[in-house]
Amino acid sequence: MKQATGRWKFGVTLGALLAMAATLAQGASAEKPPHAYPSMAPLSQYLIADRNAEIALARSAAPVSISGKATVLVLGPHGYITAVKGSNGFVCMVDRGWSAQFDFTEFWNPKLRGPTCFNPQAARSILPIVYKRTELALAGQSREQIMAGIKAALASKAFPPLEPGAMCYMMSKQAYLNDDAGHWMPHLMFYVPFGTDWGADLHGSPVMLNPQFHGVPEPITVYMVPAGQWSDGTPAPAM
C-alpha distances (whole Å) from 160 to each of 17, 41, 68, 88, 167 are 34, 31, 27, 20, 15
Whether residue 55 lies inside any domain: the answer is: yes
Tell me the pLDDT band of 35, cut-offs 50, 70 and 90.
low
Query: How does pLDDT run across 125-177, given as a tens digit for each residue?
Result: 999 999 999 999 999 999 999 999 999 999 999 999 999 999 999 999 999 99
pLDDT in tens, 8-21: 444 443 333 333 33
Q: Is residue 156 part of a domain?
A: yes
* Number of domains within the chain: 1
Q: Is 52 part of any domain?
A: yes
pLDDT of residue 180: 86
Q: Give the pLDDT mean for 53-71.
A: 98
Would you say residue 11 lies in a domain?
Answer: no
Does residue 106 lie within any of the structural domains?
Answer: yes
* C-alpha distance from residue 188 to each of 85, 130, 178 (Å): 23, 18, 18
- Report yes or no on 81 lying in a domain: yes
Average pLDDT for residues 90-111, to the nearest whole number?
96
Residue 113 pairs in a beta bridge with: 176
Mean pLDDT over all residues of the chain?
A: 88
Q: Which positions ≥6 away from 13 have C-beta within 8 Å?
A: 5, 6, 178, 180, 181
Q: Is residue 229 part of a domain?
A: no
pLDDT band at 184 (very low <50, low <70, confident <90, very high): confident
Examine residue 112 and state whether it is found in any structural domain, yes or no: yes
List the domain range (segments joined by +) for residue 88.
36-186
Tell whether omega for the bond before 217 is within 30 degrees of 0, i.e. cis.
yes
Residue 59's pLDDT band, with cuts at 50, 70 and 90, is very high
Q: What is the pLDDT of residue 153?
A: 98
Predicted structure pTM score? 0.85
